[in-house]
Every structure is written in structure tokens, then in C-alpha cells.
């Protein structure tokens, strides 16, 4: 039987932040998260690598997150939808013209971190769909454009 979750409504803001820090540290200790940042990206990278048998790149590697056994490079992007925030675009891709990756994998999580949808796209499709946004100094993809794009491969069942 799973341990009961704490009634978070009774905790002070200070104690909620302490709990958040402890959860973040525990996720890193278990190898689920690779940083102290928002765990969505780290969790997606680890999940994709495990399920697709990819090797994660070092944290500071520019332009891609993992490689397969054939040496192909994968950029992994993720968003988590919540009741107050519906995912509409992925985070910026820097220097897209340098072709740092061969494929992009996008994972959209439900609020409880279960996989809602996931897709793999070839670089050429990403390049065609992405739009440069000066305010983020990178190119962004609108999530609605991914699912039926040329070369899209649905990975939802593999990652769920």
C-alpha cells in the first residue's frame, strides 16, 4: 500500500518550499531528475532514454539530449499541462540552423506526469515548422502542429 500523502493545505509556504526542495533532491538521488530545476524536462529525458534505449548526453551538451546506438542525436522537449496552464508551445530551440539534432521528441504530460501524447519528428520537419522568436532568442514549435506533421511518429504508447 502506498504511503498517504500529506494534507498540503495545512503547511505554511515556507514548509511547502522545504518539501519541494526535499522532493527535488530525492528525484535527483533516484536518477529521475538530473538537476534542481523544474523536473518536467529531466523526467522526460530520462523516460525517453529508458524506453527508447538512448544514451543521455552530458548535461551541458548543446543542442541535443541523447543518442541512439547508431549515433543519431535526439533533442527532447516536454511540457506539462495543468488546469491553469494548457501547453501551447515547446521551449525554445537554440541555433536551429546548426542542426545539432537529427530528431526531436516532444512529450506532453498530464498534470499528474502521465504521458498524454508523444511524437518524434525528423529535423527537416522541425526546421520547417519552427518559428524564430526574438524574445526567447530561439525557434519555437506550436504543439498543435506536431501530431500530423510530415514524418511524425507517434510514441505515446511506447512512453505511457
Give the tens place of pLDDT for each residue, 5-29: 678 888 887 888 788 888 888 888 8
Q: Is residue 15 part of a domain?
A: no
How many domains does the chain divide into? Answer: 1
pLDDT at residue 38 is higher than 60: yes
Range of the domain at 105: 38-159
pLDDT of 3 reads 61
Q: Is residue 57 within 8 Å of 65, Cβ to Cβ?
A: yes
Number of DSSP helices (H) and strands (E) in the chain, helices first = 4, 8
Q: Is residue 3 part of a domain?
A: no
Q: How far apart are CA 115 and CA 138, in angstroms?
A: 26
Write phi, then psi, for 159 (nearest 5 degrees). Answer: -100, -20
Q: Is residue 78 part of a domain?
A: yes
Instruction: Work out the angle between the directed axes of helices 39-52 and 13-29 (0-180°, nearest 10).
Output: 20
pLDDT in tens, 61-102: 889 999 999 999 999 999 999 888 887 899 999 999 999 999
Q: Is residue 103 part of a domain?
A: yes
pLDDT of 4 reads 59
Amino acid at each position: 500500500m502506498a504511503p498517504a500523502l500529506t494534507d498540503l493545505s495545512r503547511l505554511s509556504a515556507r514548509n511547502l518550499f522545504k518539501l519541494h526542495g526535499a522532493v527535488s533532491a530525492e528525484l535527483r538521488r533516484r536518477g529521475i531528475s538530473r538537476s534542481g530545476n523544474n523536473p518536467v524536462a529531466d523526467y522526460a529525458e530520462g523516460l525517453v532514454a529508458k524506453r527508447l534505449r538512448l544514451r543521455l548526453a552530458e548535461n551541458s551538451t548543446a543542442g541535443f539530449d541523447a543518442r541512439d546506438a547508431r549515433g543519431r542525436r535526439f533533442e527532447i522537449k516536454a511540457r506539462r499541462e495543468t488546469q491553469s496552464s494548457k501547453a501551447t508551445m515547446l521551449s525554445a530551440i537554440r541555433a536551429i540552423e546548426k542542426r545539432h539534432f537529427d530528431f526531436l521528441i516532444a512529450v506532453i504530460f498530464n498534470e499528474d506526469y502521465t504521458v498524454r501524447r508523444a511524437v518524434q519528428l525528423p529535423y527537416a520537419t522541425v526546421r520547417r515548422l519552427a518559428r524564430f522568436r526574438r524574445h526567447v532568442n530561439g525557434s519555437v514549435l506550436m504543439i498543435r502542429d506536431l501530431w500530423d506533421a510530415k514524418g511524425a511518429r507517434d510514441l505515446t504508447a511506447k512512453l505511457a
